[in-house]
Amino acid sequence: MPWREIHVDTIINAVKDLIIDACCILPEDSKCALEKAFQTETSPAARDALQDILTNAGIAASKRIPICQDTGLAVFFLEIGQDVHIVGGALQDAMDKAVALGYTEGYLRKSTQDHALGERVNRGDNTPAICHCRIVPGDALKITFCPKGGGSENMSAVGMLKPAAGRDGIIEFVVNTVREAGPNPCPPVIVGVGVGGTMEKAALMAKEALIRTTGEKSPDPEAAALEEELLEKINRLGIGAAGYGGKVTALAVHVQTHPVHLASLPVAVNIQCHAARHKSVVL
Amino acid sequence: MAEKHIELPLTEEIIKELHSGDRVLLSGTVYTARDEAHLYLCRMMDAKEPLPFDLNGAVIYYSGPCPAPPGAVIGPAGPTTSGRMDAYAPRLLDAGLKGMIGKGKRNKAVKESIVKNRAVYFGAVGGAGALLSSCIKEAEVIAFPELGAEAVYRLRVEDFPCAVVNDSYGGDLYEEGVRNNCVNTD
């Protein structure tokens, strides 16, 4: 057979466990970044907040309870090998079933509401899964789960800058977005930045930038230099952990770029709280 | 900094002693309410119906907890962003509410109402829901159970850690924190 079959039941079981693990266990990269921030920080109030944040992660992991009560909307990135054939049902239905099971069995909070335009009603199972799918070479299926809380998502922004704004304009837009957000998105934050493409491409890059290992530099030297400059400027804002004032407002800035229309300069900023939860499984 | 132990409900004497930046440990009763619950409370006030709890001296905690796992009083229960309740808070403060616990900035109207009504806004560390839930000793849904995580819970807390963000004198920890820590980039 030239293709590999993956049954939806395999996906459901794996994704259900992925959801519960990701919500309860802070990944090592996020934890290391917070420990480093605690060593760097000198403001007593911010140090106390960082200590609480680290203690919290320990309690969540040992009791296997969520790190934060906002277990988010269920966002996934799927890399689907082009030689994979999913059998037994529809992929979206399988992902939705995994979300309903994971959020229920894991005692996670269901935050998804119907009727965004009117009287909001909780759906009760946190479906649907938000799935960003990409077809890649190979016969594997990689699924990354990154639950996204409302507090940090609300502070995110997209700007359609003029090309004349250039690099300085990008820096100004990103730093202003973090300044305006202040204490609201649960700093210290991770800042995902998408530059280029179209409006939705920039937003998606900003989101995808957040699942990169925290603090890992972009392989593109230009983007890496921008990351460094942005991080320095953001950490001069003085917002600090919990917004109580301090040196560490951001743990990392991750930039992704894409070729861009000659008339455009889209910039998207997706802010991630310090509870940077993400976990992958390869089937 | 030394932490102040505070027994709830809040009184004028207690509030007088609180200043932005103080670390406090709260013990007593607090009520959870967030977006939809605030809308419902204000509708009840419009209709002159009795509220599910007495607002006089009360503290509202902006939080929507996770479901309680077996054997636990409550699931993780950290603060949510307070600014979304700014549209309702001055009305509740005028009606006797004395304290709010949440995270994030309040608008000008809320800060003015805090001073006018001699109230206080506490910050809890966002994203520390597992730690904070260990300070919750009893939890009971007392109103709007249909709202799920947004229902109103009566909580009994012990040594619940907070910082005073906005005090009754106009102090603001967030503004002071940035002022003391920002590095001039000129």
Per domain, the residue ranges of chain B are: 3-181
Q: How far apart are CA B119 and CA A231, in angstroms?
A: 37
Residues of A in Cβ contact (< 8 Å) with B37:
none
Which chain B residue shows the shortest CA-CA distance from A60? B130
Q: Calculate what percentage of chain B has a pLDDT beyond 70.
A: 98
Residues of A in Cβ contact (< 8 Å) with B183:
236, 238
Q: How far apart are CA B76 and CA B59, in angstroms?
A: 19
B68-73 contact pairs (CB < 8 A, 24+): B68/A107, B68/B139, B69/A65, B69/A107, B72/A65, B72/B133, B73/B133, B73/B136, B73/B137, B73/B138, B73/B139
pLDDT band at B168 (very low <50, low <70, confident <90, very high): very high
Which pairing describes strands A84-87 and A141-145: parallel, antiparallel, or unpaired?
unpaired
Q: How far apart are CA B82 and CA B107, in angstroms?
A: 10
The fold of B3-181 is fumarase (3.20.130)
> Does A37 touch chain B if contact means CB atoms closer than 8 Å?
no
What pLDDT does residue A120 have?
Answer: 83
Does the beta-carbon distance from A60 to B173 stay under 8 Å? no
> Does B71 touch chain A if contact means CB atoms closer than 8 Å?
no
- Select from A155, A248, A245, A241 the least CA-distant residue to A206: A155
What pLDDT does residue A69 have?
Answer: 96
Task: Provide block-wise average pLDDT over 10 residues at a time, chain A (283 residues).
Answer: 92 98 96 97 96 97 96 98 98 98 97 87 94 97 96 97 98 98 97 98 98 95 98 98 97 98 98 96 98
Contacts of A225 (CB under 8 A, 6+ apart): none
Q: Give tens-digit pLDDT for B41-97.
A: 999 999 999 999 999 999 999 999 999 999 999 999 999 999 999 999 999 999 999
> Does B103 touch chain A if contact means CB atoms closer than 8 Å?
yes
- Select from A135, A145, A142, A125 the least CA-distant residue to A207: A145
Q: How far apart are CA A187 and CA B127, in angstroms?
A: 9
Of B63, B66, B125, the CB nearest to A52: B125
Contacts of B23 (CB under 8 A, 6+ apart): A48, B1, B2, B3, B4, B161, B162, B163
ipTM: 0.94
